[in-house]
Structure 1
Amino acid sequence: MKNLNFAIIGCGRISYKHVEGLHENKDVANLVATCDVKVELAEAKAKEYKEKMNDNSLNVGVYEDYKEMLEKEDIDVVTIATESGYHAEIAIYCMNKGKHVIVEKPMAMSIDDANEMIEVAKKNNVKLSVAHQNRFNKPIQKLREAIEDEKLGRIMNGTARILWRRDDNYYKQAPWRGTWDLDGGTLMNQCIHNIDLLQWMVGSEVERVYAECDTYRNPIEAEDFGAIVIRFKNGAIGIVEGSAVVYPKNLEETLSIFGTEGTVVIGGLAVNELKTWRFEGEDEERVKKDLQVEIDSVYGKGHTPLFRDVVDAINEDRKPYVSGEDAIVPLSIILAAYKSRKTGMPVNFPFTNFSSSDMKEK
């Protein structure tokens, strides 16, 4: 078991969680380089890491060009936290250079790009993991265990509600947000984590998707509200309600799963709080108490175990807990929702490649 050298590409809003994840895994991971087209952001992340490590003598390279960084630094794993529209291009380049990759969600903006990422990882015998970090939340793990033990009986339906607020300032901070080429809308950016959890718990291939979306108050190309109905091949129905226009602030992020033998609702700031745990003969209040976890943001605390899992996957030569094959499923649901919005019709699976950019007016 050797320590692995990490580099961060993209040092904006979410990157502090990458620094945190590396610091909290310091026994197996080292940050050796940071990179951002705004080099001052890369410098800030290098400084942040040194401060967390309480060691200003650490040698953390700072770069503006990730290709130069890969040539000059001894790197095992790259974490990518750039604008979503650049994820695939950067990940593919890094994997072709023999680097393992952790990429923020969404893994790509098209199904073809996502499939290429998966194939390039296989070709180069490197690990590809996607930061669906909420899979590691304790209540989510508890629900997953119950499903694997078939305690819920037949899962009939599930709902994912993401009722948040993103105002003009959020979009003005980074003009790429809300664009079809680099971001997508609320479904792609804010809702993909909960959509991932919903389909993971239902545990079935998707049969078809229908969606209605609109842009109500934010000055963006893509949607700030979206609703999706998902029919799964096992007969279950999933419902997604995703909003970035809740007045005046974030309200909830909730996952609800309904089976013939059990009902589970997980909410809180980042689907981290068990709200309902109803099974015959189980003490609901005791289970809730056992799973209490304090978090400080909607990003939760899942990056730390996710990073640890990737290190272990590399050393044990196994698939990461959240692989590219896992992450392409919620991406496909959202792209199908966008296609449904554009055509006004349900989209049957499998469907031909579709990208966020296809939503742009021709």
Structure 2
Amino acid sequence: MAKPLRFGLAGYGLVGRRHAASISQAAGATLAAVVETDGVSGRKAKAEGFEVFTTIQRALLSGDIDGMILATPNTVHVEQALQCVEMGCPVLIEKPIANSASDAKSLVAQAAARQVPVLVGHHRRHNPIIKRARQIIEDGQIGDVRAVQASCWFYKPDTYFEAAPWRRQAGAGPISVNLVHDVDLLRHLIGEVVSVRAIARPARRGGANEDVASALLDFANGAVGTITVSDSIVAPWSWEMTAGEYPIYPRTSESCYLFGGSLGSLSLPDLRVWRHEGEEPDWWTPISATAQIREGSDPLVNQIAHFRDVIQGNAAPLVPGEEGVRTLEIIEAIQQSVQSGETISIG
């Protein structure tokens, strides 16, 4: 039996601990070291049996790390990822890949020059629901995708902001923190976005960020999309509350994405394809839905297994650094459009 790959994990907060749990469930993987500067989190990791380092460099110099996962604030992603790249260590970076697309491009270029894999943690692409949805669209079951509607609505309690005051600062609103996931999925399922037009409103609960925003997306293949996000709306229509990925969120039976095609439509995450009876679409004929079958597995565990396969040379990255850059460019364009009131071209 092959020796399990040894992973390092930088950041042992809420997201980091989810990665640790996923590593424990992934075949051929083990968590060898935790990098943590916070004393409380570091002691927690140590109490759970992990070797703890205060810097990534020290962890990598221990010689026992095959790949590093960064679950740290995005302000330090590039700095930490470059340390991994310089030492030839493959790295999986939590979304967003960086604070800015320009910084992300520099990181990706240096990693490419050294031929070190850089992956981005848009873990939803590893969800069997999304894999099946992409297959449905690529197989032409709904024809040409003409439009998409995406909702990312939920209500974060006041304690969420009180626990971390930085969440009220400019750039820490739901456009950057939450919408980046949804935009990445739309890119993955439909294709590249060539321009955006967006509006947002200041947070009613105070702070320098927005609490609701909407964007019109123009896709290169001719499709159009609308996407809205809010962390101050009470609603069941968000990926978190419909997909059942993470049990801390109450699950509903609603859908948050609607894809409209020339032959039918697809709703997600319930994976229902709607079509008219007969050979040709006709709004006077009955329309019905067919539920699609898909496998069931944890996308975060799938992501770790994929990272293992990439390190071993058995797979190409599903979300390489370049994909993280492109998604971040759209988020920046949305923020720029909010400020200027203009349509922003991308790429």
TM-score tier by shorter-chain length is 0.7 to 0.9
How far is the alpha carbon of 1:166 from its aligned partner?
1.5
Pairing 1:252–2:238 present: yes
Equivalent residues in 2 for 1:301-312, closer than 5 Å = 301-312=298-309
Name the counterpart of 2:273.
277
Aligned equivalent of 1:143: 133
CA distance in 2, matches of 1:41, 1:67: 19
Q: 1:157 to 1:46 in 2, by over 3 A?
A: farther
The answer as to 2:38 corresponding to 1:38 is yes
The structural deviation recorded for 1:69 is: 2.4
Is the 1:84–1:109 Cα contact (8 Å) retained in structure 2? yes
Q: Could you say which residue in structure 2 is the equivalent of 1:123?
A: 113
Q: CA deviation at 1:222?
A: 2.1
Question: Does the C-alpha gap of structure 1 residues 229 and 165 become closer, same or farther in structure 2, counting only changes over 3 Å?
Answer: same
- Separation in 2, partners of 1:220, 1:344: 21
C-alpha change, 1:216 and 1:284, in structure 2 (3 Å) is same
Identity %: 26
CA contact (8 A) 1:102 1:131 kept: yes
Would the aligned equivalents of 1:160 and 1:239 in 2 still touch at CA under 8 Å? yes
Q: Post-superposition shift, 1:199?
A: 1.8
Query: What is the alpha-carbon root mean square deviation over aligned residues?
Result: 2.3
Deviation of 1:292 after TM superposition, in Å, equals: 8.1
Shift of 1:46: 4.7
Point out where structure 2 has 5 or more consecutive residues left out of the alignment. 240-255, 278-286
Match in the other structure for 1:133: 123
Q: Which amino acid aligns with 2:335?
A: Y
Matched residues in 2 for 1:285 and 1:258: separation? 15
Q: Hey, what's the Cα distance between the residues in 1 that align with 2:291 and 2:231?
A: 34
How far does residue 123 in structure 1 lie from its aligned partner after superposition?
A: 1.8
- Please list, as runs of the form range in 1=range in 2, the aligned pairs for 1:86-165 lying within 5 A after superposition: 86-165=76-155
Instruction: State the distance in 2 between where 1:30 and 1:38 align.
Output: 23
The answer as to whether partners of 1:194 and 1:255 remain within 8 angstroms in 2 is: no
Q: CA 1:64–1:174 in 2, change beyond 3 Å: closer, same or farther? A: farther
Equivalent residue for 1:298? none
Contact 1:39 1:64 in 2 (8 A): no
Which residue does 1:187 correspond to in 2? 175
Match of 1:201 among 189, 201, 220: 189
- Cα 1:240–1:119 shift into 2, 3 Å: same
How far residue 291 of structure 1 moved from its aligned partner, in angstroms, is: 4.0
Length, aligned pairs only: 321
Q: Displacement of 1:178 after TM fit?
A: 4.2
The CA distance in 1 between the partners of 2:209 and 2:85, in whole Å, is 30
Identify if the C-alpha distance between structure 1 residues 127 and 72 changes in structure 2 by more than 3 Å, giving closer, same or farther: same
Shift of 1:2: 4.6
CA contact (8 A) 1:227 1:241 kept: yes
State the one-letter code of the partner of 1:322. Answer: V
Partner of 1:258, secondary structure, is strand
The one of 220, 227, 240 equivalent to 1:240 is 227
Per-residue deviation at 1:47? 4.1
Q: 1:44 to 1:280 in 2, by over 3 A?
A: farther
Matched-pair contact (CA < 8 Å) for 1:127–1:319: no
Alignment-derived partner of residue 24 in structure 1: 25
Q: Contact 2:67–2:311 at 8 Å: present in 1 too?
A: no
Is the Cα contact below 8 Å between 2:78 and 2:98 reproduced in 1? yes
Hey, what does 1:345 align to over in structure 2?
342
Please report the TM-score for the alignment, with normalisation by the length of structure 2. Answer: 0.85
Distance in 1 separating the partners of 2:236 and 2:165: 22
The CA distance in 2 between the partners of 1:257 and 1:47, in whole Å, is: 47
Q: Is the 8 A contact 1:132 1:193 kept in 2?
A: yes
* Whole-angstrom distance in 2 between the partners of 1:219 and 1:100: 40
Q: CA deviation at 1:329?
A: 2.1
Q: Give deviations 1:84-138, integer Å, cap 9, x for gaps.
A: 2221221122211211111111111211111112112212222111111111222
Superposed CA offset, 1:42-90 (max 9, x none): 3323544x5xxxxxxxxx3112223332223521111111112221221
